[in-house]
């Protein structure tokens, strides 16, 4: 075997490996978004249908959250709420599911187990991908104080208002405590926390957005057109 032949085979192998790496990157950064966007849109549509059905049959269907404050999941995917963030566009809507595992975050926004439910006193803490799998929190760094975050359940619609932002290390889990960054402190108000990787295309840090509840209204009294007002449109 000549040196020239060895070099030739090595070059071909490196080219093949390079193509495989590019294909994997395309799958990770593009195709997972396509698949996840479709799945999440389907789950949101299912939730909206269930919410509408619950409103039409208030006696036959219970919309009361259990003792832990987490509404009963709707459908096989386990989603229980829809989060809308006008800053991300008037048509932005993502399903909220219990848990923050990889399989859950591929389907939407995950709710940290053990944190408060929507509208409850305490910290309703959520996690979402910033890249890949639909990247629901891709633009989380664009949120500013005063921006609304709307969480819809079968029974109520909760409007939160952004109050602060911070960047922390992945191990700084106190940001999802009932009183953020004050572990053990008793909560006195209803808060929301959004967490995602930072910077984009990296997981070295976490971008964290905090907010407080400013309004909760029964679903029957909620006017969807208000979302346009919240966007400033």
Residues whose CB falls within 8 Å of the CB of residue 46, separated by 6 or more in sequence, listed in order: 74, 75, 77, 79
Least confident of 117-126, 135-144, 155-164, 220-229: 220-229
Least confident of 47-56, 100-109, 151-160, 206-215: 47-56
Residues whose CB falls within 8 Å of the CB of residue 85, separated by 6 or more in sequence, listed in order: 92, 143, 147, 148, 149, 150
Q: Could you tell me which residue, 57 or 149, shows the higher pLDDT?
A: 149
**Structure tokens belonging to residue 71:** 């509404």
Q: Could you tell me which residue, 59 or 215, shows the higher pLDDT?
A: 215
Cα distances (angstroms) measured from residue 182 to each of 23, 164, 177, 187: 45, 15, 7, 10
**95: which strand partners?**
82
Cα distances (angstroms) measured from residue 226 to each of 89, 104, 134, 175: 14, 30, 26, 30
What is the band of 202 on the pLDDT scale with cuts at 50, 70, 90? Answer: confident
Q: Is 129 a catalytic residue?
A: yes
Least confident of 4-13, 52-61, 74-83, 92-101: 4-13
| List 84, 130, 158, 197, catalytic entry | 197
d(CA 201, CA 44): 26
Tell me what pLDDT residue 63 has.
47
Tell me what pLDDT residue 9 has.
56
Question: Largest Cα–Cα distance of the chain, in whole Å?
Answer: 83
What is the band of 131 on the pLDDT scale with cuts at 50, 70, 90? Answer: confident
Q: Is 87 a catalytic residue?
A: no
Q: Is 111 a catalytic residue?
A: no
What is the band of 181 on the pLDDT scale with cuts at 50, 70, 90? Answer: very high
d(CA 104, CA 97): 7
| List 94, 111, 129, 135, catalytic entry | 129
Q: From the CB of residue 137, how many other CB atoms can be counted at a distance below 10 Å?
A: 26
Tell me what pLDDT residue 223 has.
85
* Domain extent listing, the chain: 3-231
Q: Does residue 174 sit in helix, strand or coil?
A: helix
Q: What is the mean pLDDT of the chain?
A: 83
pTM of the model: 0.82
d(CA 224, CA 85): 13
Tell me what pLDDT residue 141 has.
95
Tell me what pLDDT residue 225 has.
79
If you ran DSSP here, which 8-state letter would residue 31 be given? I
Tell me what pLDDT residue 154 has.
92
Tell me what pLDDT residue 21 has.
45
Q: Decide yes or no: CATH 2.40.260.10 for domain 3-231.
A: yes
| List 84, 135, 158, 206, catalytic entry | 206
Q: What percent of the chain has pLDDT over 90?
A: 57
Q: What is the pLDDT of residues 1-44, one digit of tens each?
A: 565 554 455 555 555 554 444 444 444 444 555 677 788 889 99
What is the band of 56 on the pLDDT scale with cuts at 50, 70, 90? Answer: low
């Amino acid at each position: 075997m000549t040196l020239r032949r060895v070099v030739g085979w090595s070059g071909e192998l490196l080219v093949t490996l390079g193509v495989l790496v590019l294909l994997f990157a395309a799958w990770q950064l593009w195709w997972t978004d396509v698949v996840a966007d479709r799945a999440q849109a389907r789950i949101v549509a299912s939730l909206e249908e269930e919410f509408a059905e619950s409103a039409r049959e208030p006696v036959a269907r219970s919309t009361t959250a259990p003792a832990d404050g987490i509404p009963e999941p709707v459908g096989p995917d386990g989603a229980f709420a829809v989060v809308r963030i006008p800053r991300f566009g008037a048509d932005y809507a993502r399903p909220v599911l219990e848990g923050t595992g990889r399989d859950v975050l591929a389907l939407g926004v995950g709710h940290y187990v053990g944190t408060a439910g929507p509208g409850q006193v305490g910290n309703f803490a959520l996690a979402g991908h910033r890249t890949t799998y639909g990247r629901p929190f891709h633009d989380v760094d664009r949120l500013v104080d005063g921006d609304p975050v709307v969480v819809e359940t079968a029974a109520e619609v909760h409007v939160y208002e952004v109050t602060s932002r911070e960047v922390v290390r992945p191990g700084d889990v106190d940001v999802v405590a009932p009183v953020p960054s004050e572990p053990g402190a008793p909560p006195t108000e209803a808060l929301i926390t959004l967490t995602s990787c930072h910077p984009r295309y990296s997981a070295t840090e976490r971008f964290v957005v905090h907010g407080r509840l400013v309004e909760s209204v029964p679903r029957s009294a909620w006017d969807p057109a208000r979302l346009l007002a919240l966007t400033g449109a």
